[in-house]
Structure 1
Amino acid sequence: MGGAPPTTTSSTTTTTTTTTTTPPSTGCLTATVTRTSVWSSGYGADVVLTNGCPTATTSWAVEFDLPSGTTITSSWNAVRTTTGQHHRFTNATFNGAVKPGATAKFGFNASGTGLPTTCTVDGVACDGGGSGGGGGGGGATVDVSTAAQLQAALATASPGQTIRLAAGTYRGSFAVDGRAGTAAQRITLSGPSTAVIINDGPSGEAPSCPVPTAGWDSGYGLWLFDSPYWNLTGFTVRESKKGIVLDNSHHTTIDAVSVHHVDEEAVHFRRSSADGVLRGSTITDTGLVQPGYGEGVYLGSANSNWACHGNTGGVDRSDRIQVLDNRIGPNVAAESIDVKEGTHEGVIRGNTFDGQGVTGQNSADSWIDVKGVGYRIEANTGTFRAPGVFANGYETHNTSTTPAFPNGCGNVWRDNRSDLGGVGQYAINISSVSKCAAMPNVVHASNTASGAVKGLTNIAVTP
């Protein structure tokens, strides 16, 4: 789950400052920090150095800080020295010489989710600018404090750039169209929870399928369209038609945001926005206008909408989404998470679901409705208390559309704790068992249920 293991050198950690022989900086090297894997309690990252000068280097030193609560647990292909939250990496014996136009790479694993800041290489900002640039991509930082500034920054965002929101209210239409980061240089939009995005739309004439269109405001709080490799961190979205919508914007990470008081769903991964992460965020008060369409998190699209959103062989393949350690509810009018048909192999882990306020409209009467295939649903905690309409904690459903095999199959529940408040029938209700004979759903004995009218599940439990 972490990054690659060490190759020929081992890393060391000390608590004292050492004297180095790194020569004065020439400004030739730039460095990019990229997360290569993410899990609930940390991440793995690579640091790639690139030589932009006509002469080779003989050595290098990369330094950055990590926020309190995040520590480095291991590193490779560099010699590491740590003083408090400050980390210094110098080259190993085999990768100090970097030829013109060539690269060198080292990596580390971190416990905690904080990203590097004040990154320098040989004393110069990692992006090649002034001293102490931001981490996580090496690009410039754009500070914004008004809606107009935010709109301009989103319209011109470039790989490696960080757009930093000041505290305040940003009211308007905020759509990102075709501004892609890269795996090595992600684009970051960050701000404190007191930076609040509001869209009073919609307005204008809508196209037949939702795409950014001149003269039309979708009403979405924040909309990423054809814009992969973004980080969205820390801010709040509220009082909008939908909260955060991703269309064909794969490899996007949403971290520690708050979305509440929206007309419909809070966060939607759509149009094959695969390999995304929603982590450490809070979602409440959705479906204020159409209760049956007020999901907390919406993965993929119903097959009836694939004509618009089925951009991968006619299917919305928003696959491999990780929904980790979020708090969803109360007053989420539909499901906390709706997993749509055609999506595959996501992970839903460590979340807290409060079902109070679920409306039961449009069959929205559970924490999670799973029509996808191969999901791991693990270590979540769900509760229900009146008011609300509640049938089961977790449900599976099959649809008539079968792209390769039946939907709602091959999912696994493990270590979930469910309190159904004396109202819900089963903690985990598996429908159409016969349709999943070749790929059965599995409910492990490590799941627990209290307050269930009928019990843990309607199928045989797997040890």
Structure 2
Amino acid sequence: MRRSTAGLAGLVAAGLLALPARAAASIQTLAPPPAPVIDVDTSAELRSALASAAPGQTIRMAAGEYRGAFLARKAGTASQPITLTGPRTAVLVNDGPSGAAPSCPVPTAGWDSGYGLWLYGAPYWNRTGFTVKDSKKGVVIDDSRHVKADGLYVHHVEEEGVHFRKSSADGVLRNSAIEHTGLVRPGYGEGVYLGSAGSNWGCHGNSGGADRSDRVLVENNRIGPHVAAEAIDVKEGTFAGTIRGNTFDGRGISGQNSADSWVDVKGVDYLIEGNKGTFAPPGAFANGYETHNPGTTPAFANGCGTVWRGNTSDLGGAGAYAVKVTSVSKCSGRPNVVHSSNTVKRATSGLTNVPVTP
């Protein structure tokens, strides 16, 4: 009878079978791969599964509430991403923060960030279906490229809902719902945050001094109501993202820390298309979409090169323009373009303050 290589490996490991060193090493490498699906239904099991995750694995949460700090630091691969999934009734809650915080956010023993789910140095993850609530921040993706989220529900968090940070490029957020953010610091309660302010690049600028969270796709999400800052804040130094097919409900936007639009674009070469935005009281509302041009070192054409097309905007009689371009002269070499396929109603000033492109 032929023994399987897994059986031979077990005998070698147990010391019951002696083989030449080269043959033994060859058999050891044929040990079975990690289990493809890990089912969890407690917080302790979830933390353990995240800590030991391997490429190609799926961590599957049962319905229920998972309380504590949930951190992922293992990397998937392009061909074998790691998946964290669960029904909407699988709910992550973090009652932190606690302990002494480091000068820059980095996983540190004895410190709980307060983030509902934190990926740090963990590329190629998929996250689907579950809920994050009652946390300092909802989902934070740091130094983690090619991270995808589909069908998440993030609500009732103190600050932003979902943050791609520390050069977490090529990410995707789609088919998700974000509401009731900025419960403690309204001016820092963005629905989706892409990159970092230049003033924070000392912590998050790990790509030539900048936070290059580039090419993030934000698609088919519902953001709002009661998102206290912008639905999406596109930070300086990020490039070539796409914001498509989303619904923005501006009720409850705070007006604090210049939060008075659905989308604030300080990045470069973005495409904004097919979105639907509305505003109604309560809230402070200036324009539907805005651009700004902060200076940074290294220097980028911040707030330039964005294209708007096919967006529908209802400013509720409160906002001035559907698209307000702050500075034309600063973008003369890389102009922002507003196409005539955009429409607006109940605006106090009109579609845009720049010439419309057919």
TM-score, length of structure 1 as denominator length: 0.70
Matching residue of 1:359: 254
Matching residue of 2:14: none
Matching residue of 1:160: 56
Give 1:383's aligned amino acid.
Answer: T
Partner Cα distance (1:376, 1:251) in 2? 19
2:41 matched to 1:141?
Answer: no
The 8 Å contact of residues 63 and 90 in structure 2, kept in 1 or not, is answered as yes
2:269 matched to 1:374?
Answer: yes
Matching residue of 1:56: none
1:293 to 162, 175, 188: 188
1:151 match: secondary structure:
helix
Q: CA deviation at 1:406?
A: 2.2
2:347 matched to 1:426?
Answer: no
2:181 match: secondary structure:
coil
Partner Cα distance (1:399, 1:149) in 2? 45
Partner Cα distance (1:175, 1:186) in 2? 16
Greater per-residue helix proportion: 2
Partner Cα distance (1:332, 1:390) in 2? 12
Partner Cα distance (2:48, 2:35) in 1? 17
2:206 matched to 1:308?
Answer: no
Per-residue CA deviations over 1:290-343 (Å, capped at 9, x if unaligned) read: 000000000000000000000000000000000000000000000000000000
Partner Cα distance (1:395, 1:204) in 2? 38
The 8 Å contact of residues 249 and 278 in structure 2, kept in 1 or not, is answered as yes
Partner Cα distance (1:359, 1:220) in 2? 22
The 8 Å contact of residues 139 and 159 in structure 1, kept in 2 or not, is answered as no
Matching residue of 2:170: 275
2:208 matched to 1:208?
Answer: no
Alignment of 1:295-444 (within 5 A): 295-401=190-296, 403-444=298-339
Partner Cα distance (2:296, 2:321) in 1? 26
Q: CA deviation at 1:139?
A: 6.0
Matching residue of 1:181: 76
1:261 match: secondary structure:
strand
1:237 to 117, 132, 139: 132
5+ residue gaps in structure 1? 1-25, 28-127, 130-137
Matching residue of 1:57: none
The 8 Å contact of residues 271 and 306 in structure 2, kept in 1 or not, is answered as yes
1:333 match: secondary structure:
coil
Per-residue CA deviations over 1:316-375 (Å, capped at 9, x if unaligned) read: 000000000000000000000000000000000000000000000000000000000000
2:199 match: secondary structure:
helix
Per-residue CA deviations over 1:232-263 (Å, capped at 9, x if unaligned) read: 10000000000000000110001000000000
TM-score, length of structure 2 as denominator length: 0.90
Runs of 4 or more, structure 1, over 4 Å off, are: none
Q: CA deviation at 1:172?
A: 0.5
Q: Percent identity?
A: 69
Give 2:227's aligned amino acid.
Answer: V
Q: CA deviation at 1:386?
A: 0.3
Q: CA deviation at 1:401?
A: 1.3
The 8 Å contact of residues 132 and 138 in structure 2, kept in 1 or not, is answered as yes
5+ residue gaps in structure 2? 6-31
Matching residue of 1:172: 68
The 8 Å contact of residues 146 and 171 in structure 2, kept in 1 or not, is answered as yes
Give 1:273's aligned amino acid.
Answer: S
1:285 match: secondary structure:
strand
